[in-house]
Chains A and B, each alone.
Chain A
């Protein structure tokens, strides 16, 4: 976990499925000049303590949400703004519903409450597609197996050593990655959306297969206090490929909320 900066609010940056907190490298530093920022890895991802991974606890997004609720409660100074990519947007929502008090605003980058198509709802995928992803994960270790050693053995004194390793941004234990993929892509949090009363910014890309435009529209309709901003970006990681428009949307939203 990295805490830096000072300011009137605390911005938490939560990464999505696949990589770790390094995903925020083009966005977070600018905010550390104006706010207190907290970057962290979800348990099971990046540099997190893998011995804390409990397959039963993390068999639903609620397990992650418990951690996030605790983290936000413990590390907020002033109002908390939860900036989250992809699946973490829903984790943040669940954490907020568990313990709403510290949350002043949510910024959701490429969120989706449900990835699987269901009747009129277009999530973008079928169950079979998710099986296909699990297969792809299984045949792509991306250096996982050999990079796992230091993380498992626990060498926290030399984090710079492991971050230098190739592909380490996506370093995950293959079994954890598979479970996280299943938990992420089979999650359905549509029922909780109307319960979120915190002001929420939805940063929607105009071309993103993981969170298509229809999903952004759905979220904007269901979230009681939401602002939808569609930005010009191909892909699911606008905070890496279009950091400028992401920051602009976030700044305007924060200003409008007086944060």
Chain B
């Protein structure tokens, strides 16, 4: 290649006006030659660039780091580098995306020769590509989430059907047995007992189905519906306890109460709540100890607690106890009714703007409590 001074005028004009930026730099990036096209892009004259500025000085900061960590070592190791896209800083502070090829030449001193072209459209296109890739990734993540959720729901439904059919089988087999015995004819006193058993078993089955319907509604996001009205809390709890005692002969059920005043709540929902907590206490509690139900009325709130003695609920199970289908330990769970009971209790409390709590230890036993604000 001819030294600068010996280029023909035609060749000089061709290089200067070439539709691309052409540069020669020292290995440290200092401009040794630059054509007019490139000067025009950056807004500096040839004199302002030659021997005064380095190529990397005209890059965005990110570009300068990239130049140091990727470009320079690659160029040193492989003698050329192609299609590197960088942001060129113009004199007025604006930037222009350029794509650059560079080679190392010995002339005889080692120099770098660079050719650059402006890549505004490519830049725009790439940004759009990056954008759509991001969107696509988001969509894939979302789809995966929905898919997992659907899978969860399906396996949840299967499990629930399993539990419900298992738990329904007990009362129904009681009814079948009692009906079979009745059909064979028996003494009036015995047949009365059989009818009572049928009534209790159908009540149990009915409660199970009611829980299931409530649960479905709650899971669909509607929550359980309540119709609060003025109630006599202590009388309501006493009635419920009495009824439950009839259904569980051989178990001791006690009711204690404290305080007085008007409370508003959905009576049948509170009965359901007491029923679920008591059947829970009976399934898990110590057989020879009483289950104690208390109803209390304070200035700002009223509450119902159900207490039983017996093996404590493991601490790690406590946080998720009010979630559907949670059963205590498996060893104890065999006796447990459908895993919806405590979930319904929690939903009933929530529907009354109340809350549920549980504490459990070997010494103090297990205490479930539901408390509700008193609206005046």
Residues on A lying within 8 angstroms of B by beta carbon are: 16-19, 22-23, 25, 86, 125, 129-140, 142, 166-167, 169-170, 185, 207-210, 234-237, 240-241
Contact = CB atoms under 8 A, between A and B. Distances in A.
B63 interface: yes
Interface residues of B, number: 32
Given A142-B70, A167-B81, A237 B76 contact: yes
B200 to A, nearest CB: 56
Contacts of A240: 72-73, 76-77
A17 B139 CA distance: 32
The 4 residue pairs across chains A and B that have the minimum distance between CB atoms: A132-B62, A18-B69, A234-B28, A133-B62
Contact of A133 (B28, B54, B65, B85): B65
B66 A140 contact: yes
Contacts of B70: 18-19, 140, 142, 170
Contact of A129 (B29, B56, B61, B82): B61
B77 A22 contact: yes
Q: Main SS of the interface on chain A?
A: mixed
Given A23-B73, A136-B66, A236-B68, 15 more contacts: A18-B69, A19-B70, A132-B62, A133-B61, A137-B62, A139-B123, A166-B78, A167-B74, A170-B74, A185-B65, A234-B27, A235-B29, A235-B68, A237-B72, A237-B73
Contact of B66 (A16, A125, A133, A208): A133
B60 A169 contact: no
Given A17-B69, A167-B74, A241-B27, A142 B84 contact: yes
A133 B66 CA distance: 7
A111 to B, nearest CB: 14
A44 to B, nearest CB: 14
Contacts, number: 103
Contacts of B78: 166-167, 169
Contacts of A139: 85, 97, 123, 126, 130
B64 interface: yes
B126 A132 contact: no
A37 B86 CA distance: 37
Nearest to B63: A136
A99 B266 CA distance: 67
Nearest to B54: A234
Given A167-B78, A234-B28, A236-B68, A138 B130 contact: yes
A129 B73 contact: no
A136 B78 CA distance: 21
B61 A235 contact: no
B87 interface: yes
Max count, chain A CB within 10 A of own CB: residue among B56, B65, B84, B85: B65
Given A136-B86, A136-B87, A236 B72 contact: yes
Max count, chain A CB within 10 A of own CB: residue among B28, B69, B85, B87: B69
Nearest to A170: B70
Contacts of A22: 77
Nearest to A167: B74
